[in-house]
Structure 1
Amino acid sequence: MKNKKNVWMSVIIVAILLLIAFSFYLYSSWVPFKNGMWPNWYPRYQNDSNTLMSIEEIKRETNRYIADFDEALEIADIFVYEDSDYYVSVEEAATGKGAMELLINPYNGVIYPEHGPNMMWNEKYGMHGRGNIMGMHMRNRQFFNEYSGYYRNEATAKQISLETAVELATEYVKKYVDEDLIATDEGHEFYGYYTLHIKRGNQTVGMLSVNYYTGDVWFHDWHGTLIEVISNHEN
């Protein structure tokens, strides 16, 4: 009986060790952590600080982050929040079209892709896209574009115009958020959706996204109090 117990204990211990080893292998080799969400040079964790980074430091860290992508990308807008991570919209330098939406911790500079539409609706840089926000370095893009069903030709498939998106967004915020709010055509068209600015009077107070195939609205309710919007195009 003791021998059987010892055998089973040995089996359990070996299984646990194998599970730990396999988990470590997956953790260290998971592509998004190596190449996409955190580029090769980027430390996953940085030292926390009680001092807010300057906007120039925010731009510097963001530019370092987007320099790791295959596309030439540049900062479009920075949303400075009082009590949450800053939001940065990034666009393609060649096309001027929105590429991705990022969040950055203003105390330690840690950058990560914004959740929501940026991950789920972004057909080029999101979870199902051909870009590499999630670590997919798609060098053979012609093959991917021809044989992948994820990246559609939005020029022919897009159903929702910017004007209609603004109407849908305004109807949504008035009904579900605040009657004094409206959506505007300020913002960016990304691959698969629009992200529009929400205003109260003349002041921008938030944002939401509208899927330009279905008209679905996704309100960005995870941000805090907006202090200011810094447009890189005004510099």
Structure 2
Amino acid sequence: MNARPESRRRVRWLPWLGVACVTAALVLALLYALMGTTSGPAESRARGIEEARAAAQRYLRTYGDHNLRVSEVMDFVNNYYVEVRERDTGIGAMELLVDKQAMRVHPEPGPNMMWNTKYGMMERMAWDHPPRAYEQTSAGDDMPVSPDRARKIADRYLARVSPETRATEPEKFYGYYTLHTVKGGRITGMLSVNGYTGSVWYHGWHGRFIAMEGYEEQHHQRAR
């Protein structure tokens, strides 16, 4: 009989305890939302792409070749992909990957290393020390596989491995082409087609596509 008053007091406090817990949860959720508005997903993606671009530009400076520029950065789940072009010809020079955690840059494996006839990476594979670009007689313009044929080859390959997926316009590199793949109007990845043999190499190391940014060449007048 003596314990009943204490039990009644506990029962009276239980609703207030529940209200306090709910209020605390709402306050925390509000604070989290307010903090999130300072850097939303879109802003965070844009910042990451710009950081990857800056890292790639620092990497290119080690070549000492001012003819190379970053023309495109693509954000994938596993990494950032960077397309590098020559300023004077507009031909693709190389493809790079940027680690999303440390922003460390290294040459993309696959066609960039194995098929690139001007900026190939076969002699020096170390990721920390970019190799010098070496010249060969092959120009990107005289590949026997034309851009139109490369796209048809890519579409035939995709029809076998991923129905309803198609290839976009080829991007010309020395010795090969790289093409984005799309399905339902959305980018799903990329592949390359050898400009001499027509062989196809799918870039299977990127993961899901997130966003991309292209960079037009800006011409600066030299000081006299």
Offset of residue 127 of structure 1: 2.6
Aligned-pair CA distance for 1:128: 4.7
Q: State the shift of 1:93 in Å.
A: 1.5
**Partner amino acid, structure 1, of 2:75:** V
CA distance in 2, matches of 1:56, 1:135: 21
Give the Å deviation of 1:126.
Answer: 1.2
1:130-149 matches, cutoff 5 A? 135-137=130-132
Contact persistence 1:157–1:213 (CA under 8 A): no
Q: CA RMSD in A?
A: 2.8
**What is the 5 A alignment of 1:120-135?**
120-128=114-122, 135=130
Task: Tell me how far 1:155 sits from its aligned partner.
Answer: 6.0
After superposition, residues 158-169 of structure 1 pair within 5 angstroms as 158-169=143-154
Distance 1:225 1:182, change over 3 A: same
SS of residue matched to 1:153: coil
Verify the 8 A CA contact 1:208 1:217 in the aligned structure 2. Answer: yes
Secondary structure class of the residue paired with 1:233: coil
Q: Using a 3 Å threshold, how does the CA distance of structure 1 residues 64 and 200 change in structure 2: closer, same or farther?
A: same
Counterpart for residue 202 of structure 2: 219
Q: Does 1:64 align with 2:58?
A: yes
Q: Which has the larger radius of gyration?
A: 2
Q: Is the 8 A contact 1:101 1:118 kept in 2?
A: yes
Q: 1:22-41 counterparts in 2 under 5 A?
A: none
Deviations 1:120-177 (A, max 9, x none): 0011111358xxx975446xx7xxx5xxxxx34346852100000000001101102x
Among 192, 205, 220, the alignment partner of 2:175 is: 192
TM-score, normalising length from structure 2? 0.68
Partner of 2:99: 105
Q: Kindly provide the CA deviation profile for residues 61-105 of structure 1, in whole angstroms up to 9, marking residues without a partner as x.
A: 111111111432111111101x30111111112211101110001
Q: Distance in 1 between matches of 2:61 and 2:140?
A: 28
CA contact (8 A) 2:97 2:108 kept: yes
Alpha-carbon distance, 1:201 to partner: 2.7
Identical positions, percent:
38
Q: Does 2:45 match 1:77? A: no
- Count of paired positions: 171
Contact 1:174 1:181 in 2 (8 A): yes
Any stretches of 5+ residues in structure 2 without a counterpart? 1-43, 219-224
